[in-house]
Amino acid sequence: MAIELEYNKEHVINAVKQNIRFLNLVIILIISTLILVNTKFLTSLLDYIPINSVITLLIVLSGLMVGIIFMIKKISYTAMNKLMEYSDKIDALLITKQTEITERKIAEERLMKAHDELEYRVEERTVELSKTVEIMEEQISERKRAEETIQLQLSRINVLHSIETAINASLDLNFTLEHLISQVINQLGVDAATILLLRQETLILDYVVSKGFRSNALKYTRLKLGESNAGQAAKERRIVSIPDLRQQSEGFERSKLFVNEGFVSYFAVPLIAKGQLLGVIELFHRKPLSSDLEWLDFLKTIANQAANAVDNAILFDRLQQINFKLMLAYDTTIEGWSHALDMRDRETEGHSQRVTEMTITIAKAFGIEDSKLVHMQRGALLHDIGKMGVPDSILLKPGPLTYDEWIIMKRHPEYALSMLSKIDYLEPAIDIPYYHHEKWDGTGYPKGLKCKEIPLAARIFAVVDVWIRPALSFRVAG
C-alpha cells in the first residue's frame, strides 16, 4: 500500500511539472505571439521612440515576462509544494488510516482468534460439562441404586423384625410359619413356598405349610432324607438350587399336579438350629430367578429365623408337655393330700372333692376366669390343710372342745397361710384356706372380715362347705 501511495505521489508530481512546463510554453508562446503581433506596433513605435528606449522597453518587458514566468513558476512550485504537503498529509493520513485498518484487521484477526479460542473453550467446556453431567447422572443413579438397596435392606430388616415379633408373640408354630412364608414370598419375590418339618421320631419330612400354589400339589408331601430335592437339601445340609425345573425329569414325582403349576426356578434350604436339622423350606418361581449374593444371604437369614421359630416351638411344646405332666403331678399330689386330710379329720369320704366340684361349678356361674378357677380348685381341695398343725387330741376329740382347745382349732387358717405362702405354686390358692371361716356379718375368723371384704372365692367356698356338710357333723364346718 505504501509503495502504491509513493507511486501515485510521484505520478502527481510529474503531472504537475509537465503542466508547469506546458504553462511556461504557453506563456512564451503568448508573449511571442504578442511580440510578433506587436512587432508592427514596435516598428511603428520606433518612428516615435528611439531605439534605445524600445530596446529598454523590450528588456523591461522581457524582464517582466521572465518575472511573470518566474512568479508563475514559483506559484506553481509553491502550489506544488502545498500540494505535496497536502499529499504528504494525505499520505500520512492514509498511512494512519492504513495503520488503523491494519491494526483493526489485526484486532479483528485477534478477535476472530479469540472468538475461535473462546468457541473452542466453550466447546471444550461443553464437552467437560457434558461429561460432568454424565458423571453426575451416573452418581445420581448410583445414589438412587444405593438408596434403593438401603430401602430394600431396611425393608428386609423390618421383615426379619416382623418375623421375630411373630415368633416371640406366638408359640403357635403354624401361625408363625404361615406369617414367615408370606414374608418370604413378598421379600424374595418368588411365586410360591412350602415348609417341610422333620419328624425326629421317623426322620420323615412332613408338609406343614405352603403358599402360592394353584393346586394341592405338594400338600401330601412325605419325604425320607435324601429323597427328592428337599430330602437331598436336608440330608446334605446344603441349599439345592435348580435354575430350570423343565430340564429336570426327576425330583417332583411325588405329585402329578406339580407339572401343572408351571414352576421354572427352585430352591430348597435346610432349616438348621443349634446344629439340629429341623426341616426344609422350598421356594418356587414360575420364571427364571436372578439370585444374587445379597438375595441368597437374605434367604439364609430367613431360613435361620424359620429354623429358630421351629426350634422355639418344639422347645415350647416340650416345655408345655413337661409343665402339663408337672401340673398333673401337683394336682394328683394335692388330691392325695386332700384325701389324707379328709381321712385324718374323719370327714365323710370324698368331702373335699365334692365341695371343690360344687365350688368350681358356682364360680363358673359367677363368670370367674379359668386362670383363677384352677387356683380356687387347689384352694378348695386344701381348704383345711391348716389342720395339719392341730394336734390329734383336739382334732379327733370325740366331745366338745374346751375354750383353749377351740382357740387352737381356730388357728388352722393361719397355719394354712404359713404353709402355703411358702410355696409359689400354691400361693395364689391361699384365699380359700385362709378366709373360709370368715362370716358375712364379721363374726368369723381369723381376720373378722365382713361382707365383700371377704374374698369372693372364700365366700363361695364357705357357702358350699356348710351346705354339703354331713348333718351328723358335731363341730362347725371344717
Interaction site with Fe ion (CB under 5 A):
384, 465, 478
How far apart (Å, rounded) are the C-alpha atoms in residues 153 and 201?
A: 39
Residue with cell 408351571: 262
Q: To the nearest whole angstrom, how small is the minimum distance from the Cβ of residue 359 to Fe ion? A: 11
**Minimum CB separation from Fe ion for residue 445, in Å?**
10
Which residue's CB is nearer to Fe ion, number 192 or number 390? Answer: 390
Which lies closer to Fe ion via its Cβ, residue 285 or residue 383? 383
Whichever of 235 and 459 has its CB closer to Fe ion, that residue is 459
**What φ, ψ does residue 156 adopt, rounded to 5°?**
-70, -35
Alpha helices in 345-411 (DSSP H): 351-365, 370-381, 392-395, 403-409
Rounded CA-CA distance 221/472 in Å is 67
Helix (H, G, I), strand (E, B) or coil at 142: helix
DSSP letter at 348 equals: P
Nearer to Fe ion among residue 230 and residue 382 (C-beta): 382
Tell me whether residue 425 or residue 467 sits nearer to Fe ion (CB atom).
467
The smaller minimum CB distance to Fe ion, of residues 444 and 478, is found at: 478
Helix axis angle, 293-344 relative to 51-169, nearest 10°? 30
Nearest distance, CB of residue 168 and Fe ion, angstroms: 45
Q: Which three cell numbers stand for residue 323?
A: 409343665
Which of 142, 162, 180, 146 shows the shortest CA–CA distance to 294?
Answer: 146
Give 214 or 475: the residue with its C-beta nearer to Fe ion. Answer: 475
Q: Return phi, psi of residue 239, to 5°.
A: -75, 130
Q: What single string gives the DSSP state of each residue in 173-224?
A: HHHHHHHHHHHHHHHHT-SEEEEEEEETTTTEEEEEEEES-SSSTTTT-EEE
Nearest to 457 by CA among 351, 385, 371: 371
Closest CA to 355 of 269, 469, 235, 454: 469
From the CB of 404, what's the least distance to Fe ion, in Å?
18
- Residue among 191 and 465 whose Cβ is closer to Fe ion: 465
CB of 368 to Fe ion, least distance (A): 20
CA distances from 310 to 56, 205, 270, 326, 444 (A): 161, 13, 12, 24, 55
Backbone angles phi, psi at 430, to 5 degrees: -70, -25
Determine contact, residues 230/254, Cβ cutoff 8 Å: no
Task: Rank residues 218 and 460 by Cβ distance to Fe ion and give the closer one.
Answer: 460
C-alpha cell at 387: 389342720
Give whichever of 159 and 355 is closer to Fe ion, judged by the CB atom.
355
Least spacing, CB of residue 469 vs Fe ion, in Å = 7
Cell output for 458: 372364700
Q: Which residue is nearest to Fe ion (CB)?
A: 478
CB of 461 to Fe ion, least distance (A): 9
Closest CB 412 distance from Fe ion, rounded Å: 6
Cell numbers 508563475 correspond to 72
In whole angstroms, what is the distance from residue 91 CA to residue 96 CA? 8
Report CA-CA distances (Å) from 405 to 317, 345, 367, 390, 476.
Answer: 52, 15, 40, 9, 14
What is the nearest approach in angstroms of Fe ion to the Cβ of residue 201?
47
**Least distance from C-beta 437 to Fe ion, angstroms?**
6
Nearer to Fe ion, 284 or 434 (CB): 434
Least separation in angstroms between CB 443 and Fe ion: 15
SS3 346: coil
- Angle CA(268)–CA(273)–CA(276) in degrees, nearest 5? 90
The DSSP annotation for 417-439 comes to HHHHTT-TTTGGGTHHHHHTT--
Greatest CA separation found in the chain? 225
Q: At its nearest, how many Å lie between Fe ion and the CB of residue 423?
A: 19
Q: Which is nearer to Fe ion, 320 or 421 (CB)?
A: 421
